[in-house]
């Protein structure tokens, strides 16, 4: 089973990489960009037997290590 964890800086926490990328897109002539946020995607291949079990385990991984919840939010997607 595969789990995909997306980690982003929380709303309201300035994302300097997103901001720089947004400026770069603007100077390349792309119009109508309101905001760019850059995050990371962590793909985990794991042995869990059910979707629920995988979700529970990956949530614990995210809270413990994958995201720093002081500054980051995350979401989990289980891909079977």
H-state helical runs in 11-64? 16-27, 51-61
Length of the chain: 80
* Total site size for another protein, rule CB under 8 A: 11
Q: Is 71 in the site for another protein (CB under 8 A)?
A: yes
Angle at 67 between CA 48 and CA 75, to 5 degrees: 60
Provide the 3-class DSSP secondary structure of residue 57.
helix
17, 41, 50, 75: residue in contact with another protein (rule CB under 8 A): 17
Q: Contacting another protein (CB under 8 A), which of 13, 24, 33, 79?
A: 13
Which positions lie near another protein, rule CB under 8 A?
Answer: 9, 13-14, 16-17, 20, 65-66, 68, 70-71
């Amino acid at each position: 089973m595969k789990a995909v964890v997306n980690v982003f800086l929380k709303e309201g926490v300035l994302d300097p990489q997103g901001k720089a990328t947004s400026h770069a897109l603007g100077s390349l002539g792309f119009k109508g960009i309101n905001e760019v946020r850059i995050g990371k995607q962590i793909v985990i291949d794991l042995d869990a037997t059910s979707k629920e079990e995988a979700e529970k385990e990956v949530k614990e991984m995210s809270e413990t290590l994958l995201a720093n919840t002081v500054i980051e939010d995350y979401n989990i997607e289980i891909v079977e």
